C-alpha cells in the first residue's frame, strides 16, 4: 500500500447566497464564496473545471444536492473534496436533540422539506469515494454529531494523516448564536470567512508549514471566538475517520521524493486552541472519570469496577470466532476489530500506568492474566486464534510506554513479570509479555499490507509505531519524544525476552526485534543509552538472575548486528 503523496483530483463545491426567496438577505456571502474559489485556484492549484460555484438563484436545494451527489460517481479513493457554504443556517428542536439545516435559495423554514438537513451531507458522504472531505459552513446551526479525534497541540505523522480516511467540518457557530455578516478582518467579508481566508493565505500554517483542516480549525476558532465584533463560537471536528484534509500538500512532495529513504516522515504539531474545555463539550468522559478517581486511593474499588466492565466487553469479542477463514480480508478485519474493541480499555490502562501507584499494580496484572487465560482454546482456524495475542501485545506496548513517560517504574517492573499458567502452553508458568510478543511477531510480515513500503524490516512494529501515536499523544501529550519512547519500549521488550530465556552456555542470545534494531545498526548508541540511563536497573531487569550483564549486552548487540537488515 502506497502512502498518498498528493491528491489525484481536488474538487470543490462552493455556495454563497445573498438573496433569498423567503428569508432575510445577506450582504457578503457571495463575496465570501467567490474569494474562496479564487484562493483555491491561485494558491492551491485547483482546476477551475473541478470547482462548482453556486450563487444566489443557482443555490437551490435541488442544485446543491445534485452537485454534491455527483461526487459519488466521479470521485476516486485518492481524491479530496472541499465544500464551502456561506448563508443562513437553521436549527429545529427534535425529540432526541437538535437538528441542523442549511437554508438554500428557495428554502422556507416553515416547510422543513425545503431545507437541507445536515444529515443529508453526512449520511451521503459514505457513498463518496474521496479519501478526504472538508465542510466549512459560514452559518449557525446545531445538531452536529462530531468528535475531536485530533486534539489541538497534538502531533501527528504527516504521511499517516494523509493515508487515513477523514470527514471533517467547521461551522461558524451554534443554534443560539448570530453570524456576523460584516465587521470582519477583511473588507466585504463576514467575520468567520474573513479569518478563514486569512488562514488560507498562510496565517493558519503550523510551525512545519502545513496548512490542513486541523490547523485551520484551531486558527479560526481562536480568531472568531476572540474577535471584538463576534458573538459566535465556531464548532469543529470529525464526523468520521481521523485523517486530515491537506490544502498545501504539493509543498511537501520533496518529503516523499526519495522512496528509498527509510525515515522521511515528519511530525506535525496542530496549533493549540486558547480557551478551556473546547476539546470536548462533554468533559465527563470515561477517561476523565478514571483520571479523577485515580487521584484518590479511596476510589480504587470504583476504578476496579470500571476496568472489569471494559474487560468483559473485550473478552466477549476476543473469544468470538466470527470470521470466515476463506475471506481474503480476514486478517485485516480481525486486526481492525481488535483495535476497536480494546480502544477504551487501552485508554484506561494508559491513564493507570501513567498516574497509578502501587495500589493499582494488581488490577493491571489482572487485565493481562484474564486476557491470556481466556485464549486457552485451540479450536478453530490457527492464524485467527493466534491473532488473539494481538490486543494483548498492543496493550503491553502502550502500558510500558506510558510507564516510561511518567517514570512509573513500580508498575512497569510488574508488567514485565506477569505470568500465566494457561493450558495452551502445556501448563507451564510463562511470562505473558514474552508469550504475546513472540506469538504475534510470527505474523510480522502480514502487517506489510498496512504499510506504505513492502520492504519494511519490521512491518508489525512500523504499523504500531504510527497506529498508537495519536492516542498516546492525545492522552499524554508526548510531542517529539514519542519516537525515542517507542524504541525504548521495544528494547525493554527485547531484553525481557532475552533475560528470561538466557542460556549462559550458549554463544547466542535472542530477543524480540523491532525498529530499534534497524536504528542500532545505523547508530550504535541506542541500546547503551537505555543502560546508561539506568532504566534496566530501575525496572529490575536483571534481578533474581545470575546473568553477567556485560556478557549479555555483548551477545545481544551481536545478535542485533547479525540481523540481515541491509
Per-residue pLDDT reduced to its tens digit, 54-108? 999 999 999 999 999 999 999 999 999 999 999 999 998 887 778 999 999 999 9
Contacting residues for 462 by C-beta, under 8 A, at least 6 apart: 447, 451, 456, 515
Phi-psi region of 200 (alpha: psi -120 to 50; beta: other; left: phi over 0): alpha
Q: Which residues are 156's β-sheet partners?
A: 268
Which pLDDT does position 506 carry in this prediction?
83
Separation CA 430–CA 134 (nearest Å): 50
Per 3-state DSSP, the chain is made up of helix, strand and coil in percentages (nearest 5) of 50, 15, 35
Query: Residues 492-519: pLDDT tens digits?
Result: 999 999 999 888 888 888 999 899 998 8
Q: Which residues are 240's β-sheet partners?
A: 167
Instruction: Using alpha carbons only, give the angle 557, 533, 458 rounded to the nearest 5 degrees.
Output: 45
Contact predicate 221/196, CB 8 Å: no
Which pLDDT does position 270 carry in this prediction?
77
Cα distances (Å, whole numbers) of residue 141 to 59, 91, 228, 295: 19, 5, 21, 38
Contact predicate 300/366, CB 8 Å: no
Contacting residues for 321 by C-beta, under 8 A, at least 6 apart: 380, 381, 384, 385
Which pLDDT does position 22 carry in this prediction?
94
Contacting residues for 21 by C-beta, under 8 A, at least 6 apart: 105, 106, 107, 108
CA 374 to chain centre: 29
Which pLDDT does position 43 carry in this prediction?
95
- Rounded to 10 deg, the angle between the 515-522 and 525-532 helix axes is 110
Sign of CA dihedral 417, 428, 443, 343: negative
Separation CA 180–CA 443 (nearest Å): 57
Q: Which fold has domain 10-269?
A: Rossmann fold (3.40.50)
Separation CA 502–CA 431 (nearest Å): 14
Q: Are strands 132-140 and 80-86 parallel, antiparallel or unpaired?
A: parallel
- Rounded to 10 deg, the angle between the 515-522 and 549-562 helix axes is 90
What's the whole-model pTM score?
A: 0.78
Instruction: Using alpha carbons only, give the angle 33, 147, 400 rounded to the nearest 5 degrees.
Output: 135
Alpha helices in 319-408 (DSSP H): 330-341, 343-355, 361-373, 382-386, 389-406
Which pLDDT does position 244 carry in this prediction?
92
Query: Residues 275-304: pLDDT tens digits?
Result: 444 334 443 477 888 888 898 888 899 999
Q: What is the full DSSP assignment across 150-164? A: S-TT-EEEHHHHHHS
Q: What is the full DSSP assignment across 458-479? A: -HHHHHHHHHHHHHHHHHH--G
Query: Which residue stretches of the chain have pLDDT < 70?
Result: 1-4, 148-149, 152, 175-184, 228-230, 254-265, 272-284, 320-327, 376-383, 422-429, 452-455, 566
Contact predicate 563/494, CB 8 Å: no
For 549, the 3-state DSSP assignment is helix
Which pLDDT does position 193 carry in this prediction?
93
Q: Which residues are 117's β-sheet partners?
A: 101
Which pLDDT does position 427 carry in this prediction?
45
Contacting residues for 20 by C-beta, under 8 A, at least 6 apart: 26, 87, 88, 103, 105, 107
For the chain, what are the domain ranges? 10-269, 286-562
Separation CA 239–CA 149 (nearest Å): 9
Amino acid at each position: 500500500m502506497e502512502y498518498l503523496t498528493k491528491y489525484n483530483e481536488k474538487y470543490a463545491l462552493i455556495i454563497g447566497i445573498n438573496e433569498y426567496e423567503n428569508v432575510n438577505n445577506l450582504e457578503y456571502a457571495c463575496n465570501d464564496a467567490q474569494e474562496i474559489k479564487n484562493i483555491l485556484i491561485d494558491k492551491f492549484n485547483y482546476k477551475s473545471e473541478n470547482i462548482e460555484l453556486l450563487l444566489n438563484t443557482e443555490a437551490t436545494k435541488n442544485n446543491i444536492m445534485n452537485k454534491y451527489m455527483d461526487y459519488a460517481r466521479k470521485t476516486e479513493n485518492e481524491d479530496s473534496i472541499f465544500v464551502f457554504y456561506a448563508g443562513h443556517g437553521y436549527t429545529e428542536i427534535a425529540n432526541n436533540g437538535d437538528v441542523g439545516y442549511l437554508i438554500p435559495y428557495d428554502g422556507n423554514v416553515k416547510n422543513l422539506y425545503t431545507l437541507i438537513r445536515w444529515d443529508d451531507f453526512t449520511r451521503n458522504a459514505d457513498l463518496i469515494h474521496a479519501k478526504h472531505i472538508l465542510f466549512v459552513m459560514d452559518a449557525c446551526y446545531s445538531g452536529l454529531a462530531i468528535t475531536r479525534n485530533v486534539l489541538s497541540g497534538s502531533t501527528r505523522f504527516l504521511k499517516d494523516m494523509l493515508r487515513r480516511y477523514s470527514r471533517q467540518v467547521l461551522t461558524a457557530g451554534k443554534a443560539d448564536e448570530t453570524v456576523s455578516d460584516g465587521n470582519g478582518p477583511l473588507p466585504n467579508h463576514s467575520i468567520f470567512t474573513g479569518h478563514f481566508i486569512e488562514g488560507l493565505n498562510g496565517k493558519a500554517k503550523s510551525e512545519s508549514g502545513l496548512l490542513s483542516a486541523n490547523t485551520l480549525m484551531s486558527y479560526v476558532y481562536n480568531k472568531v471566538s476572540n474577535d471584538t465584533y463576534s458573538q459566535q463560537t465556531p464548532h469543529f471536528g470529525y464526523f468520521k475517520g481521523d485523517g486530515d484534509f491537506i490544502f498545501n500538500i504539493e509543498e511537501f512532495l520533496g518529503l516523499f521524493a526519495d522512496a528509498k529513504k527509510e525515515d522521511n516522515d515528519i511530525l506535525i504539531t496542530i496549533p493549540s486552541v486558547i480557551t478551556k474545555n473546547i476539546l470536548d463539550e462533554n468533559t465527563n468522559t470515561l477517561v476523565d472519570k478514571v483520571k479523577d478517581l485515580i487521584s484518590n486511593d479511596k476510589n480504587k474499588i470504583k476504578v476496579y469496577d470500571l476496568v472489569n466492565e471494559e474487560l468483559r466487553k473485550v473478552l466477549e469479542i476476543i473469544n468470538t470466532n466470527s470470521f470466515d477463514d476463506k475471506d481474503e480480508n480476514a486478517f485485516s478485519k480481525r486486526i481492525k476489530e481488535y483495535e476497536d474493541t480494546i480502544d477504551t480499555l487501552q485508554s484506561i490502562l494508559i491513564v493507570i500506568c501513567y498516574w497509578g501507584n502501587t495500589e493499582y499494580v494488581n488490577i493491571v496484572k489482572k487485565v493481562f492474566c484474564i486476557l491470556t487465560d481466556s485464549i486457552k482454546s485451540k479450536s478453530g482456524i490457527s492464524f485467527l486464534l493466534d491473532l488473539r495475542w494481538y490486543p494483548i501485545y498492543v496493550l503491553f506496548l502502550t502500558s510500558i510506554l506510558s510507564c516510561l513517560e511518567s517514570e512509573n517504574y513500580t508498575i512497569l517492573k510488574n508488567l514485565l513479570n506477569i505470568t500465566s499458567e494457561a493450558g495452551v502452553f502445556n501448563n507451564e508458568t510463562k511470562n505473558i509479555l514474552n508469550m504475546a510478543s513472540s506469538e504475534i511477531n510470527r505474523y510480522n510480515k502480514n502487517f506489510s499490507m498496512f504499510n506504505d513500503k513492502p520492504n519494511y524490516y519490521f512491518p508489525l512494529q512500523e504499523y504500531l509505531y504510527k497506529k498508537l501515536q495519536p492516542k498516546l499523544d492525545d492522552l499524554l501529550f508526548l510531542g517529539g519524544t514519542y519516537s525515542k519512547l517507542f524504541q525504548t519500549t521495544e528494547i525493554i521488550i527485547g531484553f525481557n525476552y532475552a533475560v528470561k530465556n538466557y542460556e549462559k552456555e550458549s554463544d547466542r542470545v535472542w530477543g524480540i526485534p523491532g525498529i530499534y534494531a534497524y536504528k542500532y545498526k545505523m547508530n550504535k548508541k541506542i541500546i547503551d543509552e537505555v543502560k546508561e540511563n539506568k532504566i534496566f536497573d530501575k525496572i529490575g531487569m536483571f534481578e533474581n538472575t545470575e546473568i553477567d550483564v556485560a556478557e549479555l549486552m555483548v551477545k545481544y548487540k551481536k545478535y542485533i548486528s547479525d540481523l540481515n537488515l541491509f
